[in-house]
Amino acid sequence: MVGWAFLAPNLVLMIGFLFVPIVLAVQLSFQETRGFGDPQWVGLANYRTMVEDPDFWRSLANTILFTAVTVPIELAAGLGLAVLMNSALPARGLLRTLLVLPMVVSGVASAMIAVILFYESNGLVNKVLETLGLDRVGWQSEGAPAMVSVILVAIWLRLGFNMVIYLAGLQSIEPELYEAARIDGASRWQQLRSITVPLLGPSTFFLLIMNVIASFQVFDVIFVMTGGGPSGATSVLVTYAYRNGFQIREQGYGAALGIVILLITLVFTFVQWRTSRTRDLAG
Amino acid sequence: MTAPAHQLPAQAATVAAPQQPRRRRRRDESRRGIVWRTIVAVVVTIVVVFPLYWMLVVAFSPRGEIFEPGLRLWPSTFTLENFEKILDRYPVLGWFGNSLVIGVFVMVLTTALNLLAGYAFARLRFRGRTAIFLLALSTMMIPVQAIMVAQFRLVVDLGVYGTYWGVILPGAAAAFGIFLARQFFLSIPDELVEAARLDGAGHLRIFLQIVLPLSRPLIAVLLLLTFLGSWNDFAWPLIALKENELFTLPVGLLYLKGQTTPDYNAIMAMALISVLPMVLLFLFFQRYFVQGFARSGIR
């Protein structure tokens, strides 16, 4: 009884604002809600629309592309910076602090700064490119550069977090291991490959899940920087669901997109969980 | 005799010769290593910090200057007009207050509830504990954006759409802190709790008078992280608020961009106002911030 009493306040909020909405979302995804009338039951119509909706497939492909590019870069760069910041350096504390700083900046503020930096007609990035004798890039008018710009901002925002987690992981590795490896004549690169990377496995696993989920759900950066444009080039599932649920006001379709996002997240998490378990058993 | 005598120094020389340069070479290498590492570290840091520097430059530049032709990396004249303008034209102080009120409520509510739940999972035995723990764990996998349409309708039905509560309540329904709290409480020695029980203290008293005072670092981390999360949250306040007087800073920032001719200098002044409190908090409580993030990783 006491246990439940301690849990009750938290459970009430979670049930009320997470589990009830899931049930409501499933229900809503079977309804047509356009306009002001009562919602109508339409069965699987929203899901059928989705299968035939090129914008949905494009948003899904963009989401996968965005995730597939950002996550490996965040992991590799986070590890590289952590190793660098764990070695002997002058003013190491100051450098670490500065590198972690973007972590506390909101997605909206970073996106606003990026809007100005990547401003197409006379932003700083294009001015620098011009000074270097290169061509200006159509950050707002061309699809591929627009995607590159949102990817850069996402990496900027999350690099510090990856570095911090890896730094914590590095500090748990016994220095004797490196000493032994050095005596055996292992090069720095060999040490990194055979000691650091394997022993950071748990950190990598945690970061992989966190980064994939964060990339999969990226919203504020894209919403503010490109709004999903130009012509859908940076539209991802979450911005597309928002567009349908709140801008076009087809809430039933928006809810159906949400259910798909939920299902993909759950499948990914489940697969990760299974593979990590077998890895634990094997190790 | 002569041969070995002749050989010996030669041998010694061949043994010693590579050794000494090698030692010196290693020292040179490590010195060169530090130089190279420093160069890489400084360059990367400059690149990472540059966008924030640029925010400062634009916020203190005269209107439109950054879009004039020519490469200019600092303001021609240092001006406060952008700040005066936004404070004059928009309810910026109100937005700041809204972010603060919502942040403090979410922070206190979430931390208190997570601490209570964490105590139950770590220290109390009851039926269904494991199942509920897994259920709470699973909520961290629910993408808020997946259920935002349904959450929105729920908030409307509850009559809290467009109010502080509409932002605070869904924002406080978080399980993240439960795990940190549970881990921390598991490390508190059983003897302390048992002794208090023998003295006839109930669990609420043990929680309040013994466990909490021992948990200051944990509480600091939870407060900081939940406040940061609420302060920077965008998607949900954007959905749950309608009148611009009630906007939080990130939503207000977007509102400024939505004006017919966006004034980017004013927007950067506004961005600076929204970012500065968190940057200062971070610099003061850096150790707690970093520990909090790091610890959530080693879970």
Helices B129-139 and A2-14: crossing angle, nearest 10°? Answer: 20
Show residues of chain A in contact with B268, CB under 8 Å: 112-113, 116
* Burial of residue B57, with CB atoms counted within 10 A of its CB: 0-12 exposed, 13-18 middle, 19 or more buried: buried
The residue that leads in pLDDT, B151 or B7, is B151
| Residue B1: per-residue pLDDT | 39
Inter-chain residue contact B44 with A85, CB threshold 8 Å: no
Helix (H) or strand (E) holding A182: helix A175-183
What's the average model confidence in pLDDT over A193-200? Answer: 89
User: How far A45 CA lies from chain B's nearest CA (Å)?
Assistant: 18
For the stretch B197-228, what's the b/e string if a residue is b when 16 or more beta carbons lie within 10 angstroms of its beta carbon? Answer: eeeebebeebbeebbeeebeebbbbbbbbbbb
> How high is the mean pLDDT of chain B?
86
Q: In the predicted model, is pLDDT for residue A205 greater than 60? A: yes
| Residue B61: per-residue pLDDT | 95
In terms of CA atoms, which chain A residue is nearest residue B142?
A: A262
In terms of CA atoms, which chain B residue is nearest residue A109?
A: B271
* Burial of residue B138, with CB atoms counted within 10 A of its CB: 0-12 exposed, 13-18 middle, 19 or more buried: middle
User: How far B176 CA lies from chain A's nearest CA (Å)?
Assistant: 12
Q: How many C-beta neighbours within 10 Å does residue B253 have?
A: 26
Inter-chain residue contact B153 with A242, CB threshold 8 Å: no
| Residue A2: per-residue pLDDT | 84
**Of A16, A106, A117, Cβ closest to residue B274:** A106
Q: In the predicted model, is pLDDT for residue A281 greater than 60? A: no
The residue that leads in pLDDT, A282 or B119, is B119
**What is the number of alpha carbons within 13 Å of residue B150 lying toward its C-beta?**
26
pLDDT band at B25 (very low <50, low <70, confident <90, very high): low
- Residue A199 contacts by C-beta under 8 Å, 6 or more apart in sequence? A169, A173, A177
Length of chain B: 299
Q: In the predicted model, is pLDDT for residue B9 greater than 70? A: no
Candidate ranges B9-23, B99-113, B144-158; pick with highest mean pLDDT: B99-113
Inter-chain residue contact B71 with A98, CB threshold 8 Å: no
| Residue B24: per-residue pLDDT | 55
In terms of CA atoms, which chain A residue is nearest residue B155?
A: A17
Show residues of chain A in contact with B150, CB under 8 Å: 21-22, 24-25, 28, 255, 258
pLDDT band at A248 (very low <50, low <70, confident <90, very high): confident
- Parallel, antiparallel, or unpaired for β A40-41 and A31-32? antiparallel
In terms of CA atoms, which chain B residue is nearest residue A106?
A: B232
Helices A54-86 and A201-216: crossing angle, nearest 10°? Answer: 150
Per-residue model confidence as pLDDT tens digits over A24-40: 999 999 998 766 567 78
Inter-chain residue contact A265 with B146, CB threshold 8 Å: yes
What's the average model confidence in pLDDT over B212-217? Answer: 91
Per-residue model confidence as pLDDT tens digits over A167-192: 989 988 888 888 899 889 888 889 88
Q: How many C-beta neighbours within 10 Å does residue A87 have?
A: 14
Helices B249-257 and B264-284: crossing angle, nearest 10°? Answer: 160
Inter-chain residue contact A159 with B48, CB threshold 8 Å: yes
* A193 touches B: beta carbon within 8 Å: no
Query: What distance in Å separates the CA atoms of residue A113 and residue B78, rounded to the nearest whole number?
Result: 19
Q: In the predicted model, is pLDDT for residue B184 greater than 70? A: yes
Query: What distance in Å separates the CA atoms of residue A29 and residue A79, rounded to the nearest whole number?
Result: 41
Q: In the predicted model, is pLDDT for residue A162 greater than 50? A: yes
Q: How many C-beta neighbours within 10 Å does residue B37 have?
A: 17
The residue that leads in pLDDT, B190 or A96, is A96
Query: What distance in Å separates the CA atoms of residue A86 and residue A178, rounded to the nearest whole number?
Result: 13
**Of B40, B147, B294, Cβ closest to residue A21:** B147
The lowest-confidence range among A35-39, A117-121, B160-164, B264-268 is: A35-39
| Residue B22: per-residue pLDDT | 52
Per-residue model confidence as pLDDT tens digits over A15-26: 999 999 999 999
CA A145 and chain centroid, separation: 19
Count residue pairs from A and B with Cβ separation < 8 A. 273
Inter-chain residue contact A219 with B143, CB threshold 8 Å: no
Residues A89/A139, Cβ–Cβ less than 8 Å:
no
* A87 touches B: beta carbon within 8 Å: yes
Query: What distance in Å separates the CA atoms of residue A78 and residue B8, rounded to the nearest whole number?
Result: 53
In terms of CA atoms, which chain A residue is nearest residue B272?
A: A109
Per-residue model confidence as pLDDT tens digits over A69-82: 999 999 999 999 99
Q: In the predicted model, is pLDDT for residue B248 greater than 70? A: yes
For the stretch A5-27, what's the b/e string if a residue is b when 16 or more beta carbons lie within 10 angstroms of its beta carbon? Answer: ebbebbbebbeebbbebbebbbe
| Residue A237: per-residue pLDDT | 94
**Of B121, B175, B297, Cβ closest to residue A206:** B297
Token readout for A34 is: 């356009």
Inter-chain residue contact B41 with A84, CB threshold 8 Å: yes
| Residue B137: per-residue pLDDT | 82
Q: In the predicted model, is pLDDT for residue A283 greater than 60? A: no
Three-state DSSP class for A119?
Answer: coil
Per-residue model confidence as pLDDT tens digits over B219-247: 998 999 999 999 999 999 999 999 989 99
Inter-chain residue contact B142 with A4, CB threshold 8 Å: no
Helix (H) or strand (E) holding A32: strand A31-32
* B183 touches A: beta carbon within 8 Å: no
* A120 touches B: beta carbon within 8 Å: no
Token readout for B109 is: 């509510």
Q: Which of B253, B54, B239, B40 is nearest to A17 (CA)?
A: B239
Residues B123/B185, Cβ–Cβ less than 8 Å:
yes
What's the average model confidence in pLDDT over B78-85? Answer: 95
* % of chain B residues with pLDDT over 70: 89
Q: In the predicted model, is pLDDT for residue B8 greater than 70? A: no
pLDDT band at A114 (very low <50, low <70, confident <90, very high): very high
Inter-chain residue contact A127 with B71, CB threshold 8 Å: yes
* % of chain B residues with pLDDT over 90: 54
**Of B178, B254, B268, Cβ closest to residue A224:** B254
pLDDT band at B298 (very low <50, low <70, confident <90, very high): very low
Residues B294/A126, Cβ–Cβ less than 8 Å:
no
In terms of CA atoms, which chain A residue is nearest residue B35?
A: A89
Show residues of chain B in contact with A106, CB under 8 Å: 231-232, 234, 249-250, 274-275, 278
What's the average model confidence in pLDDT over B188-208? Answer: 88
Inter-chain residue contact B146 with A14, CB threshold 8 Å: no
The lowest-confidence range among A45-49, A84-88, A277-281, B239-243 is: A277-281
Q: In the predicted model, is pLDDT for residue B10 greater than 50? A: no
| Residue B219: per-residue pLDDT | 93
User: How far B3 CA lies from chain A's nearest CA (Å)?
Assistant: 35
| A residues 211..240 contacting B (CB < 8 A) | 213, 216-217, 219-220, 223-224, 238
Token readout for B142 is: 């629910």
Q: Which of A152, A110, A220 is nearest to B275 (CA)?
A: A110
Inter-chain residue contact A13 with B264, CB threshold 8 Å: no
Q: Which of A151, A141, A203 is nearest to A172 (CA)?
A: A203
User: How far B1 CA lies from chain A's nearest CA (Å)?
Assistant: 38
Query: What distance in Å separates the CA atoms of residue B73 and residue B65, rounded to the nearest whole number?
Result: 11
In terms of CA atoms, which chain B residue is nearest residue A216?
A: B143
Residues A32/A42, Cβ–Cβ less than 8 Å:
yes
| Residue B109: per-residue pLDDT | 96
| Residue A35: per-residue pLDDT | 60
* A270 touches B: beta carbon within 8 Å: no
Angle at the Cα of A176 from the Cα atoms of A171 and A179, rounded to 5 degrees: 115
| Residue B281: per-residue pLDDT | 93
| B residues 113..152 contacting A (CB < 8 A) | 113-114, 116-117, 119-121, 124-126, 129, 132, 136, 139, 141-152
ipTM of this complex > 0.85?
A: yes
- Residue B267 contacts by C-beta under 8 Å, 6 or more apart in sequence? A112, A116, B253, B256, B257
